[in-house]
Chains A and B, each alone.
Chain A
Amino acid sequence: MSDDRTIYLDGNAAAGPLSEVFAVDLTTAVAGCDRCGAVAAVAAARVYADAPGMVVRCASCEAVLLRVVEAPERMWLEMRGIAFLQVPVLPASPP
């Protein structure tokens, strides 16, 4: 099953740390890769979780989209690989 490639997970795996920061589920958001221009759901990106933090890479060109590191009392989020995010906006709730 496993070969020389580093094992990666889906973008889903980053949902926990990202939920600390974003009011919407960022894994269902669409991200544009700043390097190659590919546009895809964050959930479809590749997550490498073996580093001290999580590294989320573009599934098309492997460029780093974002990195997140969690410590007990703070976390760091770097997103310069993402050119834009598109998030769903829901209609108004019924009263």
Chain B
Amino acid sequence: MARTALLGRVTWRVATVVGDVAETATARTLRLQVADWPGHLAGQHVDIRLTAEDGYTATRSYSIASAPAGDEVEVTVEELPDGEVSPYLVRDLAVGDPVELRGPVGGWFVWRPSQLEPVQLIAGGSGIVPLMAMLRARSQAGGHAPVRLLYSVRAPDAVFYRGELERWRDETTLVYTRVAPPVSSRLVGRVDARLVMEACWPASRAPTCYVCGPTGFVEAVSDLLTAAGHDPARIRTERFGPSGGTR
């Protein structure tokens, strides 16, 4: 697995949708079966390509949500209102359909089972997806690395993997930016310096920090972590864009 990055040319192959889960009203997990899937590391992504009848193609990157498991891989797709690719993946693609996929790719924003240092995961919205792969891979590896998750989300009904996240209830802090649940000890608001202080590993524990979300969120959180004394070299980021490369 450590050699995933050196498997040679990665190119397009046809996957088959073998299952799906509605995560929210606008997000769906697709379980894809890929023949000869080489395995992946938590945090890696795949590119998905759609081709229209006239030959027009659109490619987007989606983070892998699942821990390595045979020849199956899961992605969770959030529908963007004006998206070219995501509405099709969330609304139209059916179980049994083929879809073109390239991956796994990316060796930077990854967590490896050999990492035993504390891990700080910070997600904004659908940025939870690759961090969920890390939580799952960590459990698969025996759960030895101390972990904390700070998950910033618009409202309770926008939370992905709600049931499964209960497993890590003690390690997880949810913060709502627009609407909080009726019974909540927390005020509605954005991630700030106080929350970083309360909910994250202190810099003295030297955690590796993984921050994933929209560009503005990632910028703000990276600055907060650096201001709290975290070594910038231990902060890994993955930004989600509105078009082009991601979603």
Contacts and interface: CB of A to CB of B under 8 A. Distances in A.
Given A9-B215, A10-B237, A90 B55 contact: no
B105 A16 contact: yes
How large, as a class, is the contact surface on chain A?
35 or more
Interface string A1-39: 111000111111111101111011101100000000000
B187 to A, nearest CB: 19
Contacts, number: 111
Contact of B103 (A16, A41, A48): A16
A70 interface: yes
Contacts of A44: 108
B6 interface: yes
Contact of B241 (A3, A9, A43, A93): A9
A33 to B, nearest CB: 18
Contacts of B22: none
Contacts of B109: 10, 12, 43
Interface of A: 1-3, 7-16, 18-21, 23-25, 27-28, 41, 43-44, 47-51, 54, 70, 72, 90, 93
Given A12-B106, A43-B109, A54-B245, 10 more contacts: A10-B239, A16-B10, A16-B46, A19-B11, A21-B9, A23-B8, A27-B105, A41-B108, A43-B107, A49-B243
